[in-house]
Amino acid sequence: MIGIFFRNLFRDLVRQPLRTALTLSGVVWGTFSVILLLAFGDSVSKAQMKRFHGMGQGIVLVFPSRTTLSWQGFLKGKAVRVTPETVEAIPEKVPGIELISPEFVDSRLISYGRKEFRNTVRGVNPEFELMRNTIAGKGRFIDAEDMAARKRDCFIGDVLATDLFGTEEPVGRNVLIDGVPFLVVGVMRTKLQNSNYNGQRDERCAFIPWTTYSSLYGAKYVSNIIFRPRDLGRSKAVMADVKGHLAKLLGFSAADPDALGVWDTLDFERQFTTFFLAFTVFLGVIGSFTLLVGGVGVASIMRVVVEERTREIGVKLAVGARRRTILWQFFSESLVLMLLGGLVGFGLSAGALQGAKAFPAGGFTDFVGVPVLNPLVIVSTVLILLAIGVVAGMIPARTAASTDPIEALRK
């Protein structure tokens, strides 16, 4: 039976080679499109999420602002000012905080020799490194000894290091920040980053101990607070506790929505994930329409095959063949055509995705990533292919099964 099935299928395919080639090309191109579009959507999503995590993962940023509600005799419009010492003491009063750092941010003149740039300088503590992924590629980040001794040590971004030193080794050399010498103790490892707040991206920043920043520039109140909760799922509850603690300590209403500006990056990440999921689905739908055109082609060619084999169908029905046998025969042939075109499309797309890996890292690939044939893409494409194949195969198969044997034998 299997041999007869494939012999009939081969006969139908070679009888009209041009028609067969055009039909299969539609399925091949549709499969190729679905795979590439799904792979592209998935790679863009992962690349952008990686860039977003360059700023930090699971962090909450708090920006002291002004009150908009009066409270216990204080009129609205009161400035909320937070000292770095207050920030450092928060974990003692608010459970659930894994890491926390005060942050001073300002633009200052950074120079080395004849080169000078007005870049962002951040006064932070050692915990900032893990929260913000400012990992040292050379040397080290600022440490507890730097903090305690108010050392004039600085950690600089990789782009700033290149701008100042070119091909020279930065670690161990002195730079001037607003005319004050600082020893470069480390250079940040290159990272991708597409989100930021207050000042330039980390690659162009200089990081110094907040104790040094405060004493050198006379800054008493932080620009912002950054912390990471132990349980990322409880970030909102921890933030509510932080706000309640600061409200009681600094004198403002905990219900005031504007006293503290809050950016919970987990909220943004959820929105980000939802958007790119919708984007990937949209690309998959576009590819599916292309594959649907191929499915219509298969349905059309099988309708023609049914017409050409009407007498054969009539003979089979006349000698006792069941209609479901005829239905299954033509449905199987249609599905095999879809799968054959899909298999060729898979091979071509796998080759194209393998070729995409040859593109050098950086530039374009940093934004869109490198599309790969991962299991999710494969499963999604197979399901789409089978769904369209079933519909495309059932139409001519039902036509064949409903043939009147008497009318068929008269032709």
Task: Report how far apart, in Å, the C-alpha atoms of 116 and of each of 160, 179, 359 are.
Answer: 10, 11, 35
Which pLDDT score, from 0 to 100, does residue 102 have?
97
φ, ψ at 73 (rounded to 5°)? 90, -15
Does this model's pTM top 0.85?
no
Q: What is the pLDDT of residues 328-367, one digit of tens each?
A: 777 777 777 777 888 888 888 888 878 777 666 655 566 6
d(CA 147, CA 84) in angstroms, rounded, equals: 12
Q: How much is the pLDDT for 15? A: 62
Q: What is the pLDDT of residues 283-336, one digit of tens each?
A: 888 888 877 777 777 777 777 766 766 676 666 667 666 777 767 777 777 777
Residues of the chain with pLDDT under 50: none
> CA distances (Å), 187 to each of 158, 171, 215, 340, in order?
6, 7, 24, 55
Closest-CA residue to 112 (of 156, 174, 188): 174
